[in-house]
Amino acid sequence: MKKIKVLVVDDSAVVRKVFREEISRENDMEVVGTAPDPYVARDKIVQLKPDVVTLDIEMPRMDGITFLRKLMRHYPLPVIIVSSLTKKGGKLAMEALSLGALEVMSKPSSAYSVGEMGVQLVDKIRAVARLKVSPKEESSFKKNPQARSASKALAETTNKIIAIGASTGGTEALKVVLTGMPPNAPGTLVVQHMPANFTTSFAERLNELSAMTVKEAKDGDSLINGVALLAPGNYHMLLKRSGARYYVQVKKGPLVHHQRPAVDVLFHSVADYAGSNAIGVILTGMGSDGALGLLKMKEAGARTVAQDEKSCVVFGMPKEAIKLSAADKVVPLNSVGKTVLNMIS
């Protein structure tokens, strides 16, 4: 089988070396070239025709965002963003995803071991390598007025819980789902595979766009109507209950499906503590994280929804859930929010 050709673009010689070593361990991929800046990268993309580009976004001469914008307009191909674990890095990563990058990961550091990074890097490369990427224009970041009007059909007193899991392509998918929810939607829990610190910027971005309040979860946060809690990167998020009060536990723990946070961890806890009071949603993403958890939710009486193949960036997680008969409904992305609201009412 033809090897996946990867071009590594990063101004750090150390990162270029680490990525080359990690990718070279795999039999199905190879680093065909490296570039210290976008000018060199531009020439190598034309010359080497890589299947995947890993791209740093903070570089000299031309920043990665400017380069990505040009690349997606004129020569679109799968791009994995590599960024520093800083607030600025997180915001730039969110901008890159809106421009058409498919995945984001953090640079190797003391907080993120090379071993963990290596597993995630090759998994992400495999997930995006065969995807067809179309020219991308920047998304419009305006609030959705229909979300507020939808609140009239939703009882203020609902005590339902919505649990959503996503991975590759999930940042844009979650934007579609959450901006379509009314301001009094049931308390919502979200796991998106994303490194630490980037989830802060992602929650802030969703909060700006949504009628709901969206925030990064903190240990002990209560679930209340109109609030969506996003699992922080590098922490699992679980649902707990004390009397009539639902709250979240945010904690470390072993990686599940090579992920922390993991969708399965959330879904299993929702099945245990909310049962038929919950609605589970599994969106675009690589691998099988969340499939067994969604099945457990369904078996506990929850209603469940999976995104359909045509609208997924990567039909991995929903596909595995559908194979297990874990989804009551399989719908296109633009129908997910409406389906969930219909299940509530």
List the catalytic residues.
167, 193, 289
User: Please, where are the H alpha helices in 75-113?
Assistant: 87-98
User: What CA–CA distance (Å, rounded) separates 325 from 294?
Assistant: 9
Among 14, 4, 5, 62, CA closest to 38: 62
CA distances from residue 49 to 2, 200, 226, 333 in whole angstroms, order as listed: 14, 35, 47, 31
Task: Please state, in angstroms and rounded to a whole number, the distance separating the CA atoms of residues 56 and 251.
Answer: 29
Are 283 and 177 in contact by the 8 Å Cβ rule? The answer is: yes
Return d(Cα 70, Cα 290) in angstroms, integer: 35
Around Cβ 26, how many Cβ atoms within 10 Å?
16
Two tokens at 113? Answer: 């071991």
Question: CA separation (Å) from 224 to 11, 64, 83, 112?
Answer: 45, 39, 33, 33
- Are the beta carbons of 316 and 193 closer than 8 angstroms? no
Place of tokens 């903070």: 58
Give the three-class secondary structure for 309: coil
Task: Provide the CB-side half-sphere exposure for 58 (13 A, CA).
Answer: 13
**What is the DSSP-derived secondary structure letter of residue 152?**
G
